[in-house]
């Protein structure tokens, strides 16, 4: 009885639906009209593993050979000689101070240069290879580009694609076509796959921001499916998909050392990001959910939650755009010094050489430049 009470409370028509609408109105009948059902959300769980398997095959049999063709090395970094004193110090601080290095010199009978070199090699052991970065970017480019094309093809003739007020006319009795159905299922499954693959992918400084983004996106898609906000949900997806593949293309160009192409693609990415996520998203999607919905359907509790998730995404969009601007400003202000587009979220391998002239006691990193992948859907 208690479980039934919780179930009934969670699926309260007062919360989910507008006035004078019940769940019975959204039951599917044998009339060719299909409404989203909560049981459909089991499909993305299965598809997530299929997507992950496709990804691994793509990275191994397509992306990796392409990377090798362009000269990307697939080797692993050198393994340091075991040293308990240095290892214990490394666990405390990966970039030792001058005082720490002097203390380690006395403990290990190693020179300052040898200790710095050991720390550089030890840090490199934890960094993903250039090939892993390239294959990961290739997969994301492949998915984002194709899902964007598919989304546009599915939505092109839909009335709400050009006129957002159509998201609410006749709501919630909106028929779901097979194209839109699979567009949603594939997108949700992709983000579920990212939820667990993120722990195996290249680690970024904004790891938890990205995790929050994935959680917010899944919550948005799942919630919109249950409440049949699918029309506005497809607009959110299309706006997001329009920008992501530009970033991944820029990263791929960076990894194959096509720097000029990388810079051009990154510039396009920044412009498209601003237009789609900071202009179209709030003025087309959020305007529709805040004002057009109220005008056509009225206000009901679930729309407040839906709008709250949209606000979370907008905040993340603004945060990541600030990172994009930071990179662009750094590049433009240091053009005379040969500065390139850099990745402010992760660092590349540090060069390790017997002839290394680096002597600074803080063990500062020498980072090679990467394209900023400061965002993802």
Question: Which residues 6+ apart lie within 8 Å of 90 measured at CB?
Answer: 119, 122
Residue 364 has pLDDT above 70, yes or no: no
Of residues 334 and 179, the one with the higher pLDDT is: 179
Residue 176 has pLDDT above 70, yes or no: yes
Question: What pLDDT was estimated at residue 360?
Answer: 38
Question: What pLDDT was estimated at residue 370?
Answer: 41
Question: What pLDDT was estimated at residue 340?
Answer: 58
Angle at 282 between CA 345 and CA 321, to 5 degrees: 20
Question: What pLDDT was estimated at residue 355?
Answer: 41
Residue 365 has pLDDT above 70, yes or no: no
User: Could you tell me which of 191, 184, 196, 200 has the C-alpha nearest to residue 376?
Assistant: 191
- Give per-residue pLDDT as tens, 86-110: 888 888 888 889 989 989 888 888 8
pLDDT band at 62 (very low <50, low <70, confident <90, very high): very high
Give yes or no for a contact between 233 and 223, defined as CB atoms under 8 angstroms apart.
no
Question: Which residues 6+ apart lie within 8 Å of 1 measured at CB?
Answer: none
| Phi then psi dihedrals of residue 159, to 5 deg | -60, -30
Q: Which long-range contacts link 193-201 to residues 24+ away (Cβ below 8 Å)?
A: 193/48, 193/49, 193/51, 193/52, 193/55, 196/52, 197/52, 197/55, 201/136
What pTM, to 2 d.p., does this model score? 0.82
Q: What is the 3-state secondary structure (H, E, C) of the chain?
A: CHHHHHHHHHCCHHHHCCCCCCHHHHCCCCCCCCCCCHHHHHHHHHHHHHHHHHHHHHHHHHHHHHHHHCCCCCCCCCCCCCCHHHHHHHHHCCCCCHHHHHHHHHHHCCCHHHHHHHHHHHHHHCCCCHHHHHHHHHHHHHHHHHHHHHHHHHHCCCHHHHCHHHHCCCCCCCCCCHHHHHHHHHHHHHHHHHHHHCCCCCCCCCHHHHHHHHHHHHHHHHHHHHCCCHHHHHHHHHHHHHHHHHHHHHHHHHHCCCHHHHHHHHHHHHHHHHHHHHHHHHHHHHHHHHHHHHHHCCCCHHHHHHHHHHHHHHHHHHHHHHHHHHHHHHHHHCHHHCCCCCCCCCCCCCCCCCCCCCCCCCCCCCCCCCCCCCCCC
Question: Which residues 6+ apart lie within 8 Å of 52 measured at CB?
Answer: 193, 196, 197
Most confident of 132-136, 141-145, 193-197, 329-333: 141-145
- Give per-residue pLDDT as tens, 4-24: 666 677 889 999 999 889 999
Question: What pLDDT was estimated at residue 217?
Answer: 84
pLDDT band at 74 (very low <50, low <70, confident <90, very high): confident
pLDDT band at 368 (very low <50, low <70, confident <90, very high): very low
CA distances to 16, 138, 146, 288 from 238, in Å: 25, 20, 12, 15
- Give per-residue pLDDT as tens, 109-120: 889 898 888 888
- Give per-residue pLDDT as tens, 217-265: 888 899 999 999 999 999 999 999 999 999 999 999 999 999 999 999 9
- Give per-residue pLDDT as tens, 108-156: 888 989 888 888 888 877 777 889 899 999 999 999 999 999 999 999 9
- Give per-residue pLDDT as tens, 18-45: 988 999 989 998 888 999 999 999 999 9
Of residues 272 and 11, the one with the higher pLDDT is: 272
């Amino acid at each position: 009885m208690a479980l039934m009470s919780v179930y009934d409370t969670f699926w309260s028509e007062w919360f989910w639906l507008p006035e004078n609408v019940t769940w019975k109105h959204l039951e599917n009948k044998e009339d060719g009209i299909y409404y989203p059902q909560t049981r459909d959300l089991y499909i993305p769980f299965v598809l997530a593993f299929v997507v992950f398997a496709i990804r691994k095959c793509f990275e191994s049999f397509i992306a990796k050979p392409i990377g090798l063709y362009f000269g990307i090395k697939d080797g692993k970094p050198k393994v340091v000689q075991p040293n308990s004193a240095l290892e214990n110090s490394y666990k405390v601080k990966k970039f030792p101070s001058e005082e720490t290095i002097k203390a380690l010199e006395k403990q290990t009978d190693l020179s300052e240069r040898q200790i710095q070199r050991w720390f550089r090699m030890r840090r490199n052991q934890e960094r993903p290879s250039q090939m892993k970065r390239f294959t990961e970017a290739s997969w994301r480019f492949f998915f984002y580009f194709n899902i964007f094309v598919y989304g546009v093809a599915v939505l092109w003739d839909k009335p709400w694609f050009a006129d957002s007020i159509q998201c609410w006319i006749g709501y919630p009795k909106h028929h779901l076509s097979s194209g839109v159905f699979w567009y949603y299922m594939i997108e949700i499954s992709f983000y579920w796959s990212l939820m667990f693959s993120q722990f195996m992918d290249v680690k970024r400084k904004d790891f938890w921001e990205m995790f929050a983004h994935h959680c917010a996106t899944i919550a948005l898609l799942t919630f919109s499916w249950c409440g049949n906000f699918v029309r506005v949900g497809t607009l959110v997806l299309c706006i997001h998909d329009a920008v992501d593949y530009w970033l991944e293309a820029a990263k791929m160009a960076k990894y194959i050392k096509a720097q000029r192409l990388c810079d051009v693609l990154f510039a396009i990415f920044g412009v498209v990001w601003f237009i789609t996520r900071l202009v179209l998203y709030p003025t087309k999607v959020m305007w529709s959910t805040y004002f057009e919905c109220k005008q056509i359907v009225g206000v009901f509790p679930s729309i407040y939650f839906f709008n709250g998730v949209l606000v979370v995404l907008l905040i993340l969009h603004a945060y990541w755009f600030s990172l994009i601007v930071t990179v662009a400003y750094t590049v433009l202000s240091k053009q005379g010094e040969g500065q390139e587009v850099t990745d402010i979220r992760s660092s590349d391998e540090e060069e390790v050489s017997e002839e290394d002239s680096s002597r600074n006691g803080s063990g500062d990193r020498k980072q090679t430049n990467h394209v900023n992948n400061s965002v993802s859907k």
